[in-house]
Structure 1
């Protein structure tokens, strides 16, 4: 997993990370604007489970549960620790890995 802490803004630090992850659940937000999510787990140490927010329903429909993907995600946190466990991240890039 490769990560960076990018900049500070009002005591929040913006992070991004690339990793191989397995998608194990898909769900939609039912409140307000329709938003689409995946639940994923990092395949390598540190093993972390997190959610990925996707704004595009067409992309969300293409992603398959129980498949492995190379992903790039971003998130905000109040500190510089690179922990995404149980956080909601934003999808920046995704590519399916061969089995």
Structure 2
């Protein structure tokens, strides 16, 4: 939450984007947990018509800051198993991508 608030404050103080933002960002908190996501809701009021321009820049800066701080964004994972071996274990299916294909 601290990082999100910092990025919002930085954006509001920015010479290019700040004039489009009419109020401090409101951080509402965690709204839901998904399969591979934690959804955090926040709101930043803007001049009419500027919301998408500000949102794209906010998202760009937030991703850049997350990367700098090694904060990972979750994504779905899938492990495939080909069945059990004679010993009863289930190793992951070995796959390789052939660049010639």
User: With CA pairs under 8 Å and 6+ residues apart, which has the higher RCO, 1 or 2?
Assistant: 1
The answer to which structure has the higher helix fraction is 2
TM class by shorter-chain length?
Answer: under 0.3
TM-score (norm 1): 0.25
TM-score normalised to the size of structure 2? Answer: 0.25
